[in-house]
Structure 1
Amino acid sequence: MKQIVNKNLISLKCVLFCFLSGIGCIFPFLPLHMLSVGLDRGEARLISAVAPCVALIGPAILGPLLDKLSVGRGSTGGSGSGPSGSGKLLRVITALCLILSAVFYLLLLAVPYTERHEARRPEVLFMCDQDGAYVMQEVCAEGMRCNRWDGEKTGVLAVTKCEYGCADDNMTWLTQPFPVPATTTTVRPLYANILNETEAEPLIARDEEEEEDDYDLNPPHLCLTGETDVECLVYMQHAGRMRVPLSLTAPRQNDTADWCTYKTAKPSKCNVPQNRLDQLLEENPECRPAVRCQVLDPYDEPDGVLAEAQCRLVIGDPSYTFWSYLVVRVLADIWPTAALALLGAACVIATRETSLGRGDVGRQLAVGTIGLVIFPPLAGLAAKEVPEAPYLIPFVMHAVFMLIGALILIFDSHMPLSAPEWWWHTATGVLTMPMNAIRRYGAETAAIFAVVTLLGTLWSAIDTYLPWTVLDLNGTDTLLGLAYTVGALPAVPVLWWAEGLVDFLGHSNIFIAAFTFYCLRFTGLGYSTDPSLVLVSSALQVATLSLVHVTAVLYFRHLVPRKYTATGQALPVIAHFCLGRCIGAIIGGIVSEAPALDAAREVYRALAVTSLVIAAAYLALYHFVLAPKCQAPSVAPPQTLLQGLNTNGSSNGTYSPMRVYHEERSRKGHFRY
């Protein structure tokens, strides 16, 4: 009876369990952690897109480097350090990646906190007297300084309801409500007339039968010193809006600390007509004659002089928090990505590939996936246990698992990771033919790389911002962790029998099915109104992520020459978890940036249709164009290999090609790629 559990692979299974457990403790909560340190969603989207793009440096460098350094260090001897040379090198480099992953993600906890409250729009007043024009802005909050700038700030200020009155030091008149204009007059509006000061005369707009209104005979004049002369703007009663061009100097704060005063950079004044002046002084001998105007949309007016002067309560330095988080996160993402590629190579090397064509790669990943089943909900449950440091416990759990995995790799010198010259051997150890007859190079590798990248894009469009989707639907951190559990739990038995399942279905058919399942996942998210429905969508992840990844591992195992095993396993990681994740983060960011939940659902539905179209196009292209053209022909085994072999009892001393080619034209003979 075949041994179900290979004792030599137990330590490798433990490493994969620790690695995926650490991944499950931290990656579901990284988008939420970015928000918890004070980054806004726009900054978080940028980091989520940049980090995986830079992370490809890890597998892209370490994969080829390991292959190059492993030459001559295998069982064939050479100038290396013996049979275990390349195995030790792979173990040490992978352990180093796990340690650096633990260190850099812990450094994210040291990123300084920042806090930005929603902008408040304080009241703005406008006053003008014979000494100049002033813009008054209410101080944002107690103890806060006025908005300041260097030099002059030029723009416009939209005003209305200008009127004469008496200004005072405590601004009582300025802060009083403006009177509601009468609606019985038939005076026609006259807007913002510009006159020279020498020509500024009262402008009258009225019907002949109406009595003249004293206000219309003496409208307020705001006179500004121009480049060559003095220009005056005349405000007429009932004018809807007058745009006043202003150049303001840096504000000064009043003694009361309640208002900030912005004064015009160039000389300006408002003269009060004599009849109005006499009337004001008669009512109040200490009157300071002035004109006040109501300010319209000070922060929204096009080219507004106060467009950027709205209040923002900021704690810490948002710019420093963003850049420090970006740098640390980019460096942190490199190491688990590289470790994933190296562990894939370790699985391929350690399990070998027997004459039955099955190396049990999936079983190693299945045991590791148990960590993804157990720990994400536990990490979510403990995420807010330390209020002053949210997500501290998940980060520590990640570090602990990574360090345990690294220790196993360092101290287990019996892990079977030394690559022999030939892996293609029979169950009795007799070498058979090399893989050259069935291996595809170049074009097929590039094509599968593109397919895996596209699948990674669709995965990232959902997974990168799934935490925000759960929170927007009033979910919790624990429910978010359960979403990953629901996605990983069905993957355990599927991965356990993955190689047989891939042989039966065919590699390309699995990729086609994955696009179809993405259609279902996007459709589910497009109509989800409850966080529990996200769990149903996550259950389909077994077909869109787990089975896709192991299929890519097995596919590149055959496409890439044996001496480039680490490079070959780096390719699907770069495609799916780097390039695809980057592009998907950009697309998912468009969804999360939608102004309303309904708009985001529309994008999800569009992605569902896109996935279905891709699946149909891939199905037609592969089965009706590529498969008939590129089917591998039957090739007789080398005669030198068959000499002396007669295991099938033939009388002529020949060996049946069915034994070498895994039943000749059966699935494993052509691999159904």
Structure 2
Amino acid sequence: MEKMINKNLITLKCVLFCFLSGVGCIFPFLPLHMLSVGLDKGEARLISAVSPCIALLGPAIVGPLIDKLSVGRGSTGGSAGNSGSGRLLRIVTATCLILSTIFYSLLLTVPYTERHEARRPQVLFMCNADSAYVMQEVCKEDMRCNRWSGEKSGVLAVGSCEYGCADPNMTWIRQPFTTTSTTTTLRPMYNTLVNASAQTNGSVDEAAREKTHFDLNPPHLCYNGECNVYMQHVARLRIPLSLIAPDPPEDNSTADSNWCTYQTAGPSKCLVPPERLAEMNQDDDCTPAVRCQVLDPYDEPDGVLADAECRLVIGDPTSSFWAYFILRSIADIWPTAALALLSTACVIATRETSLGRGDVGRQIAFGTLGLAIFPPLAGLAADQMPDTPYLVPFILHAIFMILAALILVFDSHMPLSTPEWWWHTATGVLALPMNVVRRYGAETAAVFVVVALLGILWSGIDAYLPWTVEEMNGTYTEVGLTLTAGALPAVPALWWAEALVDYIGHSNVFILAFTFYGLRYTGLASSNEYSLVAVCEILEVFTLSLVWVTAILYFRHLIPRKYTTTGQALPVIAHFCLGRCIGAIISGMVSLQLQSARVTYEALGVVSLLVAAIYLTLYHLLLAPRCAAQAVSPPQHLLQGLNTNGASNGTYSPMRVYHEERSRKGHFRY
């Protein structure tokens, strides 16, 4: 009877347990850690999208490298002891784990920065017969005016315009505005744009004046030969203009150092009608002018002062962003590389040969226990340490990764021999030549794309799920429990995963995954509290756990033995690198534009169900009938050995011998 636990694989289970525990202790808290350092959500989205794209360098390099060096050692006459120990695979994996510890720990050294608006200073507009000015209160934090090079063009929205008498110190413009200032209700609607050609000697043409039947003349604000007329009943006038920033230090402000003055780049003037001039007290210090309040200077679309508000900045935001971006991008390389190597170790160590069925799923099931246990414990520790909440998760990640590395370094008896040494038949017959193995290039590419699509949908949820929990006033413990909700039910499913995948069929598992993604997204779109989010996470057993084991088994089936590591690197690149990158981009961009994660989830849920329907239709109508392996005559030198041991009835399928028993691989269920 097959033993439930293989003693030779205990240390491999411990390595997987430590690896997944370390991953679970840090990854759900990284999106929150980026914000705690002082990065804004736009910068965090950029890092979440770019870092997995850079991380594909890990599996893309170590996969072919391990295969090449392993084959080289075997083909150059290396001893069975050296090649069969899997020392190269163990050392490279341990190195990746140690580098993961180093670079993720360095994220704690990223300098803190804080950015927030101290206040939004008042902005005023004044214009006389010679020029126009925009005045802004000085930012109290650094007592400097906003500056830029050259001209800055945009729109200035003004209101509450009124006539008055400006003094050289511009005291009048800063006085409180009256409530009954400019004009009374005007009979006909006046055109908001008066062509410069209609002006005569600084005033509007008399014919135009008669045509409009004005009782009182409204203010005319002219810039670059075009005049805009302010109407009191309209209350808002958008003036297109360009501003020139003041030159420090002498022109930093007006006589009152609490204000900055920006001059218009083009010729400007305001027309004060004779009727208004007569009303003013003419003296030597009086300059007839128009003043206006500037409405929403920092929020107006295409506003010329849209980014000129006062901001209080602690630290250097640019340095913090680039430091985090570089360290995170390098750090993500190593766990993805280690995941590919550990998947390879599972495939090799379980000895899925003609001696019997492998148990890859059971190794991952044991490791998944760590993913279920330690993330909420790390979150609980973070809740108890509000001043340094991320210290314990990073320390736990380092401890588990170092433990896994030590096991790999010192356990020389772990069954990780290279493919040339462990591929054999039950009777010790030499391995089949690789040229008799059917190449599945197109099918490999198709599965790669399917796994990448599933990775996109996975990333659309997981990349920003901690932010969703935080917006629901969730704790760090609840953030960790989201992983527990998905990992705990996955343990029994993974334990019997190979039999389950064989029974259902690999492609049917993928189709079910797309369907359950539709259910997950639909549930998240209607979730208003944390409990519903946790329930949706339980479905991850179908969308991630079984999918991942299926991908390992499928690529093990498709890729020749001498490219085992490369074959296991492919699903890592597809799901956790490319898929994670594209999913973070899509989810981040849609959320940013729609300002609603709920709408994002609804859209991605519909996409998931559509992909499931298309995949189901294409597979069962077009692809499934072509997947059956064709029986061919075996090589003569193998037929005798197989018949001698009762392993053949005279017919032979390459996939049957290459992938063991007929009941399992001869009718491999796609």
TM-score (norm 2): 0.86
Question: In the aligned structure 2, how far is the partner of 1:616 from the partner of 1:266?
Answer: 61
Between 436-445 and 31-40, the greater mean CA deviation after superposition: 436-445
Report the equivalent of 1:574.
573
Contact 2:111–2:320 (CA under 8 A) maintained in structure 1: yes
SS at match of 1:292: strand
**Deviations 1:437-468 (Å, cap 9, x if unpaired)?**
67542122222212211221221122212212
**Deviations 1:216-269 (Å, cap 9, x if unpaired)?**
3xx767787x7xxxx695857748537374543416235654322224467867
SS at match of 2:71: coil
**Deviations 1:62-117 (Å, cap 9, x if unpaired)?**
1101111112434x870468434661111111111001111111111222222222
SS at match of 1:135: strand
SS at match of 1:126: strand
Contact 1:521–1:537 (CA under 8 A) maintained in structure 2: yes
Report the equivalent of 2:623.
626
Return the offset for 1:611.
2.1
Question: In the aligned structure 1, how far is the partner of 2:630 from the partner of 2:153?
Answer: 78
Structure 2 matches for 1:161-560, cutoff 5 A?
A: 161-167=161-167, 169=169, 171=171, 174-180=174-180, 183=184, 186=187, 189=190, 191=192, 193=194, 194=196, 199-201=201-203, 216=217, 238=232, 240=234, 241=237, 243=239, 245-250=241-246, 252-254=252-254, 257-264=257-264, 280-281=280-281, 290-299=289-298, 304-355=303-354, 357-419=356-418, 421=420, 423-425=422-424, 439-560=438-559
SS at match of 1:666: helix
Report the equivalent of 1:29.
29
Question: In the aligned structure 2, how far is the partner of 1:202 from the partner of 1:643?
Answer: 109
SS at match of 1:112: coil
Return the offset for 1:367.
1.1
Q: Does residue 610 of the first structure (1) align with residue 611 of the second (2)?
A: no
Return the offset for 1:631.
0.7
Tell me which amino acid in the other structure corresponds to 2:136. Q
Query: Tell me, which stretches of 5 or more residues in structure 2 are unaligned?
Result: none
Question: In the aligned structure 2, how far is the partner of 1:192 from the partner of 1:638?
Answer: 91
Contact 1:195–1:233 (CA under 8 A) maintained in structure 2: no
Structure 2 matches for 1:630-645, cutoff 5 A?
A: 630-634=627-631, 640-641=637-638, 643=640
Q: Percent identity?
A: 65
Question: In the aligned structure 1, how far is the partner of 2:659 from the partner of 2:338?
Answer: 33
Contact 1:192–1:236 (CA under 8 A) maintained in structure 2: no
Query: Tell me, which stretches of 5 or more residues in structure 1 are unaligned?
Result: none
Contact 1:191–1:239 (CA under 8 A) maintained in structure 2: no
Contact 2:591–2:600 (CA under 8 A) maintained in structure 1: no
Residue-pair matches, total:
658
Report the equivalent of 2:68.
68
Report the equivalent of 1:87.
86
Return the offset for 1:195.
6.3
Shift in alpha-carbon separation, 1:292–1:244, aligned structure 2, 3 A = farther
Question: In the aligned structure 1, how far is the partner of 2:377 from the partner of 2:401?
Answer: 17
Tell me which amino acid in the other structure corresponds to 1:581. R
Shift in alpha-carbon separation, 1:34–1:243, aligned structure 2, 3 A = same
Return the offset for 1:128.
3.8
Tell me which amino acid in the other structure corresponds to 1:352. R
SS at match of 1:68: helix
Contact 1:154–1:248 (CA under 8 A) maintained in structure 2: no
Q: Does residue 53 of the first structure (1) align with residue 53 of the second (2)?
A: yes
Contact 1:162–1:294 (CA under 8 A) maintained in structure 2: no
Question: In the aligned structure 1, how far is the partner of 2:573 from the partner of 2:192?
Answer: 64
**Deviations 1:125-170 (Å, cap 9, x if unpaired)?**
1234578543211234444422112344455544452312354858
Return the offset for 1:616.
2.8
Contact 1:222–1:270 (CA under 8 A) maintained in structure 2: yes
Question: In the aligned structure 2, how far is the partner of 1:234 from the partner of 1:40?
Answer: 39
Contact 2:349–2:414 (CA under 8 A) maintained in structure 1: yes
SS at match of 2:311: coil
Report the equivalent of 1:124.
123
Return the offset for 1:639.
5.9
SS at match of 1:353: coil
Between 495-504 and 183-192, the greater mean CA deviation after superposition: 183-192
Between 99-108 and 64-73, the greater mean CA deviation after superposition: 64-73
Return the offset for 1:666.
2.4
Tell me which amino acid in the other structure corresponds to 1:604. Y
Tell me which amino acid in the other structure corresponds to 2:59. P
Question: In the aligned structure 2, how far is the partner of 1:646 from the partner of 1:184?
Answer: 107
Between 89-98 and 661-670, the greater mean CA deviation after superposition: 661-670
